[in-house]
Structure 1
Amino acid sequence: MDVTCGIDWAEDHHDVAVVDSDGRLLGKLRISDDAAGFQDLLRLLAEYGDNPQDPIPIAIETSRGLLVACLRATGRRVYAINPMAVARYRDRHVVSRKKSDHQDALVLANILRTDAEQHRPLPDDSDLARAIAVLARAQQDAVWDRTRAHNRLRSHLREYYPAILEAFADKRERLLAREARTVLAIAPTPAAAARLTHNRLKSAITRAGRQRRIEAEASRLLDVFHQAQLHQPPLVEQAMGRQTLALLAQLDAACRACDDLARDTEELFLQHPDAEIITSFPGLAVLTGARMLAEIGDDRTRFETGRDLKAYAGSAPVTRESGKSRRVSHRRIKNSRLAATGRHWAFSALTASPGAHAHYNRRRDIGDRYHAALRRLFNRMLGQLHHCLATRQRFDETIAFAAPVLPPLTTAA
């Protein structure tokens, strides 16, 4: 690269450095984080040969934000360099360990000058794929927030109200169930639960959406709430009940956010041309398929081989070798969102695909533990997904998990 640019990103301003192929500083500038600052950056780049046909590549420590979005819109290559990698490169240039914003921008520009082939530019995903990524990641964050809110509420109820936990212990969703949240809203304390009438309970669980066995369910809940149990002092119990209502409001908001974002994500995902291929795989529903697309994108040049995608997802093992020591283990540096989706995918595929279940059983028979066998199944199916997306074909069970070809039998002379 003849000329490279590095940008040290900050919240309200950015430091820019431009260097030539010999590492000489051509220009530096501090720009504001607004439209005027972006125009100043473009003018600086134009002074050193930047043009639409041959734009100057840029290295920056983040892949998000308005500045990055505007730089990508100009059609130039933008490299998001990990801050830990920048720290290692900084030691190559300054042994005194001093640090400044301008120096970091210079280090970033020199990273592209010397080691551009070791780094990947941001993928050229379509706007639709990037919009799906925004919604899918937000929905996944909402799920994690919902889990945290559920755990906080459950931990709090154990301190004074174990009857409500017992009442919905058999439910698959437990306190996340709409019935549980509706009953807890009208009875936030054991004393309030003991005063509930059969008709009020019937109205509550009907309002929550239950349509069958309403009478029996109301009677069951009354029996649980009328059992003898330990109590906090009345004043303390009332205070804890108020805290429960506050925690319940947070849980309700998290549940609504999960449902709304899931609906929006699925609606947008189904508009993408890759949706039909992705959802043809066993175990990949619309929402989990959207999460897969959000992390791998639709730029087919991003992962040249299935091995590259497997390493990015953390499903492929990594080898650490030194002298006579050689150890093969699973990857810890990976795309955590893609790895989490992969675990759900592999688990769901066990019941949706006979070939996937047979592959999992073979790995268990060899000696893999549960998580290792699931990871290997995800690794295999991820390679299949890469192939199907590259060749534009749907999943075929008979091809994906074909029986191994055995060598012909030979007869002894």
Structure 2
Amino acid sequence: MHVTCGIDWAEDHHDVAVVDSDARMLGKLRISDDAAGFQDLLRLLAENGDSPDDPIPIPIPIAIETSRGFLAACLRASGRRVYASNPMAVARYRDRHVVSRKKSDHQDALVLANILRTDAQQHRPLPDDSDLARAIAVLARAQQDAVWDRTRAHNRLRSHLREYYPAILEAFADKRERLLAREARAILAIAPTPAEAARLTRSRLRAAVTRAGRQRRIDAETDHLLEVFRRPSLRQPALVEKAMGRQTLALLAQLDAACRACEDLARETEELFLQHPDAEIITSFPGLAVLSGARILAEIGDDRTRFGTARDLKAYAGSAPVTRESGKSRRVSHRRIKNSRLAETGRHWAFAALTASPGAHAHYNRRRDTGDRYHAALRRLFNRMLGQLHHCLTTHQKFDEAIGFAPPALPPLAAAA
């Protein structure tokens, strides 16, 4: 008898439904999110044929709406197939069974169980990644989140400074990091208002620049900052300016915390990633450094059965185009439903590969010559290199420029000439 199980996940409890191949409910239960609740779940599954004592045990597959949390981790550790279903897809399945749009936790658990009963082959179970790969994923995603938090904190601070302190923005306008530079943050800490910046002495400003880590052209940079801060400019009323300076210190503290988190998480991610056996293969690709390589591994994992073909991986990353066809209408466009983290890393990877690989740059130029815009050409380059990465990881070999971007073969007549 084919039995499937569905679990409607919640924060403090979960609803469970077990059905057979004829859609008959074999059992339902509400369990708590703790060890006792997990034991209750195992007991219910055992009562319906999930026995680990069988000579060839076949655990009951389980569909759940999340891949995170203690319950999902324990189910994966038990060796059974766990399917993390998208809540939007579950809502579409619900309409197949209940046209009145009635909804309940128990009904959702039943829908999840029926999804596996009818369409299990259309869904992908959670990958069997190693603990090392999953740990790298935790750190790499946290570091990427910290980068996004840093960007938001930087933009908030910059927007605030434009209202009363444009001199600090002008002083670091030619710097690549702008307000993220250590010098800018060090000066803001001692002079959060234009009045305090104008009163800075040359020795104090020089000490701040040195303390921020600058080692060359210290005197020239100090003179430049003094000149900018002492220029005549529009000012807010003194009391308002002082209040805005206090707000700047609060925003600066948030930016400093985000910068420290980025640096600490990046260091720990790189250390852990270099311990993985696939790290050497991934970083052999042009444009992939240790941190970006860790982000790639975090999203694709190290379960090589997860993506049977390179086409599957490309669709998951959103680099492969999608075709929408109806009657005489046919439209090919880029995918919007994708792994956003992998797609974001892929854009940086393709851009960095332009200067690191002559073959990648030539491929990009060919795509531009055929009419592709900038982002489309980068996406196609990422699509090609992702296929190469899939091949190298599957065959356990490093990237070879001569093979990965071999010149196209000439036609027979041209070759003979």
TM-score scaled by length of structure 1: 0.99
Displacement after TM superposition at 1:213 (Å) = 1.1
Amino acid at match of 2:211: R
Q: Secondary structure of the equivalent of 2:19?
A: strand
Matched, 1:101 2:105: yes
Match of 1:351 among 342, 352, 355: 355
Amino acid at match of 1:239: A
Matched, 1:35 2:35: yes
Displacement after TM superposition at 1:407 (Å) = 1.3
State the alpha-carbon separation in 2 of the partners of residues 238 and 411 from structure 1. Answer: 76
Per the alignment, do residues 410 and 145 of structure 1 end up closer, same or farther by CA in structure 2, a change over 3 Å counting?
closer
State the alpha-carbon separation in 2 of the partners of residues 385 and 231 from structure 1. Answer: 55
Aligned match of 2:329: 325
Aligned match of 1:78: 82
Aligned match of 1:369: 373
Provide, for residues 147-189 of structure 1, a one-character-per-residue CA deviation record: whole Å limited to 9, x for no partner: 0000000000000000000000011100000000001100000
Matched, 1:198 2:202: yes
Matched, 1:114 2:126: no
Match of 1:153 among 150, 157, 164: 157
Aligned match of 2:3: 3
Aligned match of 1:14: 14
Structure 2: stretches of 5+ with no match in the other structure: none
Q: Where does structure 1 differ by over 6 angstroms across 4 or more consecutive aligned residues?
A: none
Displacement after TM superposition at 1:51 (Å) = 2.5
Structure 1: stretches of 5+ with no match in the other structure: none
State the alpha-carbon separation in 1 of the partners of residues 31 and 37 from structure 2. Answer: 5
Match of 2:240 among 236, 239, 254: 236
Aligned match of 2:46: 46
Instruction: Identify the range of structure 1 (208-217 vs 309-318) with the bigger mean alpha-carbon deviation.
Output: 208-217
State the alpha-carbon separation in 2 of the partners of residues 22 and 264 from structure 1. Answer: 51
State the alpha-carbon separation in 2 of the partners of residues 342 and 206 from structure 1. Answer: 37
Aligned match of 1:312: 316
Matched, 1:250 2:254: yes
Amino acid at match of 1:17: A
State the alpha-carbon separation in 1 of the partners of residues 301 and 414 from structure 2. Answer: 49
Aligned match of 2:68: 64
Amino acid at match of 1:321: E
Percent sequence identity is 88
Displacement after TM superposition at 1:216 (Å) = 1.2
Provide, for residues 55-112 of structure 1, a one-character-per-residue CA deviation record: whole Å limited to 9, x for no partner: 1100000111110000000000000011111111111111111101001000000000
Give the count of matched residue pairs: 412
State the alpha-carbon separation in 2 of the partners of residues 100 and 410 from structure 1. Answer: 69
State the alpha-carbon separation in 2 of the partners of residues 120 and 331 from structure 1. Answer: 19
Aligned Cα root-mean-square deviation (Å): 1.1
Provide, for residues 373-396 of structure 1, a one-character-per-residue CA deviation record: whole Å limited to 9, x for no partner: 000000000000000000000000
Provide, for residues 98-156 of structure 1, a one-character-per-residue CA deviation record: whole Å limited to 9, x for no partner: 10100100000000000000000000000000000000000000000000000000000
Provide, for residues 320-343 of structure 1, a one-character-per-residue CA deviation record: whole Å limited to 9, x for no partner: 001111100000000000000000
Per the alignment, do residues 92 and 242 of structure 1 end up closer, same or farther by CA in structure 2, a change over 3 Å counting?
same
Per the alignment, do residues 110 and 198 of structure 1 end up closer, same or farther by CA in structure 2, a change over 3 Å counting?
same
Matched, 1:263 2:273: no
Amino acid at match of 2:5: C
Amino acid at match of 1:153: L
State the alpha-carbon separation in 2 of the partners of residues 222 and 286 from structure 1. Answer: 39
Amino acid at match of 2:175: K
State the alpha-carbon separation in 2 of the partners of residues 305 and 84 from structure 1. Answer: 26
Displacement after TM superposition at 1:411 (Å) = 12
TM-score scaled by length of structure 2: 0.98
Provide, for residues 329-359 of structure 1, a one-character-per-residue CA deviation record: whole Å limited to 9, x for no partner: 0000000000000000000000000000000
State the alpha-carbon separation in 1 of the partners of residues 101 and 177 from structure 2. Answer: 53
State the alpha-carbon separation in 1 of the partners of residues 159 and 358 from structure 2. Answer: 40
State the alpha-carbon separation in 1 of the partners of residues 29 and 415 from structure 2. Answer: 80
Displacement after TM superposition at 1:410 (Å) = 7.3
State the alpha-carbon separation in 1 of the partners of residues 304 and 390 from structure 2. Answer: 9
Match of 2:391 among 375, 381, 387: 387
State the alpha-carbon separation in 2 of the partners of residues 213 and 379 from structure 1. Answer: 43
Q: Secondary structure of the equivalent of 1:409?
A: helix
